[in-house]
Amino acid sequence: MRRDVFQAIADPNRRAILDLLSRQRLTLNGVAENFPISRPAVSKHIKILTECGLVVVHQQGRERYCEARLDKLTEVSAWVEQYRRFWEERFDRLDEYLQEAQKKEK
C-alpha cells in the first residue's frame, strides 16, 4: 500500500522520528531508544514513513539503518505555499482597505 506524505506527517511520533533521522542515520533500535513507545510501535511508524518515501531502510549486516528522505516533503511545501500566497494576498488587501479607511477618517 502506498501512503501519502500528508498521512505520514499527521502523527506527532512520525514527525519526531523524521526530525531525529534528518540529523542522523540510525538503526531501528537507535530510533526506538529515543521514544517512550514500544519497539513494535516505532517499527509501524517507520513502515508508514517508508511506504510514503520519507524514510529508507538499508540492511547492513545484521542491522537495519533508517535514513530520512526529506525531498518528499516538497509536496507538503507546495501545498502550504499556495495557502501562504492566498492569505498574503488577503492580508495585503485588508491592509489597503484599512489605510483607505484611515485616510477617510482624517
> Angle 39-51/12-23 helices, nearest 10 degrees?
80
Q: 16-66, pLDDT tens digit by residue?
A: 999 999 999 999 999 999 999 999 999 999 999 999 999 999 999 999 999
What CATH number should be reported for the domain whose range is 5-70? 1.10.10.10
CB–CB of 85/37 below 8 Å?
Answer: no
Helix or strand or coil: residue 67? strand
Structure pTM? Answer: 0.76
